Amino acid sequence: MKNLVEVKNIHKSYLKVGMNFSGTRIQVLNGVTFDIEEGLCVGLIGESGSGKSALSRLILGLDKPDKGQGTIHIQGQPVRQWIKKNPGKISVVFQDFASSVNPMYTIREAISEPLRASGQRGNIDAKIDELLQKVGLFLDAKDRYIHELSGGQIQRICIARAISTNPKFLVLDEAISSLDVSVQTQILDLLQQLQVEMKMTYLFIAHDLQAVSHLCNKILFLYKGEIVEELHSGQLANVQNHYAKKLLGSVIPFEI
Amino acid sequence: MSNILEVDNLTVTDMRDQDEIVHHISFELKKNSCLGIVGESGSGKSITAKAILGLTNPWLKSEGTVKYFGKNHCTDMLKLDTNSLRVIRGQHICMILQDSMSAFDPLEPIEKQMGETFMENLKVSKIQARNMAVEYLKLMNINDADQVMKKYPHQLSGGMLQRCMIATALAMKPDIIIADEPTTALDSINQREVVGEFQRLRELTGTALIFISHDLGVVQHLSDQLLVMKDGEGVEYGDAKTIFSNPQHEYTRHLIATRLKMSQSFRKAMKSGIGR
């Protein structure tokens, strides 16, 4: 299978807050290397502070790695160049759905925003209907305000916005973490179905191992700025790394 | 075994718009047992816990009876005045919150905050309070307790703070601990450890526990009784094992089925691999 995203030996450090004069830097990513194959769903697991969000920002082209320290390529091109040439082909869904959408927007406005921004003209209403149907929301809800909706519904709107530009690659940064367990399952099912329908590639960042192993083909374990383990989600028993082993062993699964 | 808490017909109403948030909840908590409360956000789990302790916002009105059976007396918590409630909250019933970061004062080191609680509630000296803090942190498997106590909340991880909070509650030797989503914000390693601490806590002190969570795995691990809540109503209540194996209400079945779907694929994956 072809690689869509290639991350090579990424280093990233930030200036320590409040210590600008001393110039102390905190190393967040320490030589991260991995590939994301086209059409797969890759899970990224790591505790808070392990560099998950820093990594997702780099992959989205929102931030640059340290000078001369590693490269990120999408389809063989540097990520920022690729994004410029392929607008809307990479999308993101964040954890904090409430602050991802302007609460003063109606559903119609929220979804038409990325459509217009990516240069879509013509019958935008029909496109909105199609997207709402895809994410499983009622068609007559278009004129309701975002703040009237439940968390699961807003997250569906965020997903509709993210897929409105037919992306090739979708980054889901803790996209289900703030949802209730039964809603999580619904959103996971939706993501699974959309991936097949729209032939997307996912990077699924989360800390819930059960959700990750349910959705993803491959799981990466990020620990202290390094990828310490890479596993196929069907073969978790092959785990070698101590940290990943401990993480997997600590899950308290529900059983009958 | 005798009951330590009896909640009967608890109803919480929002006085601003006369909206009933919690409808006629009843349950009992036996000595040295654990009651799990499950339900989704907005189902009234936290409000129920807060209403028991009289910690709800002033515009919420609680009705019904909450009988607490202390050493040699029985009181209705909802009829107590503020001062008597404070005594019960400090020493007899403790609450552990989900967001450990905001439960501690960010401007004071842990030592001062734990010590303050001990001095206020147990009337001990500063040195005694300090020794107690070290002792109970060690009980929570924190080996470098002296170091941890000097730290400010932002210097500690969520799991560590959660343990400090449990240690503080534990030192009060309360009759009941109410834990509101204490493991939700933690990763699986810390979660497993904190759940372990709760089990130890019960074994060591015989404290009764009300454990609120939406993680069925954790609740199943800890609870003897179970209360399932939906939209402010208790839809199912009884023995935890019985409910998990034979749920009666449609909503409970739905909750169990959705969680089972995820945990099953995880368990299957954990068992499979090359060379096994």
DSSP of chain A, one letter per residue?
A: --EEEEEEEEEEEEEPTT-TTTT-EEEEEEEEEEEEETT-EEEEE--TTSSHHHHHHHHTTSS-PSTTS-EEEETTEEHHHHHHHSTTSEEEE-S-HHHHS-TTSBHHHHHHHHHHHTT--S-HHHHHHHHHHHTT--GGGTTSBGGGS-HHHHHHHHHHHHHTT--SEEEEESTTTTS-HHHHHHHHHHHHHHHHHHT-EEEEEES-HHHHHHH-SEEEEEETTEEEEEEEGGGGGG--SHHHHHHHHH------
Contact at CB, B220 and A250, closer than 8 angstroms: no
Give the SS3 label for residue B20. Answer: strand
* Chain B residue numbers touching A184 (CB-CB < 8 A): 258, 262
Place of tokens 């401007």: B107
- Domains defined along chain B, listed by start: 3-92+177-272 (3.40.50.300), 104-173 (no CATH)
Model confidence pLDDT, tens digit, residues B237-272: 999 999 999 999 999 999 999 888 888 888 888 887
* Chain A residue numbers touching B275 (CB-CB < 8 A): 238
* Chain B residue numbers touching A256 (CB-CB < 8 A): 244-245, 256, 260
Q: From CA A43, how far away is CA A220, in angstroms rounded? A: 6
CB pairs under 8 A between A and B: 110
- What's residue B28's pLDDT? 94
Among A22-31, B8-17, B36-45, B236-245, the minimum mean pLDDT is found in: A22-31
Q: From CA B138, how far away is CA B232, in angstroms rounded? A: 39
- What's residue A18's pLDDT? 59
At B275, the pLDDT band (50, 70, 90 cuts) reads very low
Give the SS3 label for residue B7. Answer: strand
Q: Which residues of B touch A (CB under 8 A)?
A: 40-41, 157-158, 187-189, 191-193, 195, 214-218, 220-221, 244-245, 254-256, 258-263, 265-267, 269-276
A168 pLDDT above the threshold of 90: yes
Model confidence pLDDT, tens digit, residues B188-244: 888 888 898 888 888 888 889 999 988 888 999 999 999 999 989 999 999 999 999
Determine the angle formed by the axes of helices A181-198 and B250-271, rounding to 10 degrees. 60
At A22, the pLDDT band (50, 70, 90 cuts) reads low
Determine the angle formed by the axes of helices B188-205 and B158-171, rounding to 10 degrees. 10
- What's residue B276's pLDDT? 38
- Is the pTM higher than 0.90? no
Contact at CB, B41 and A180, closer than 8 angstroms: yes
Q: Which residue of A has its CA nearest to B157?
A: A48
DSSP class of residue B206 equals -
At B99, the pLDDT band (50, 70, 90 cuts) reads confident
* Mean pLDDT score across all residues of chain B: 88
Q: From CA B39, how far away is CA B215, in angstroms rounded? A: 9
ipTM of the complex: 0.74
Contact at CB, A246 and B158, closer than 8 angstroms: no
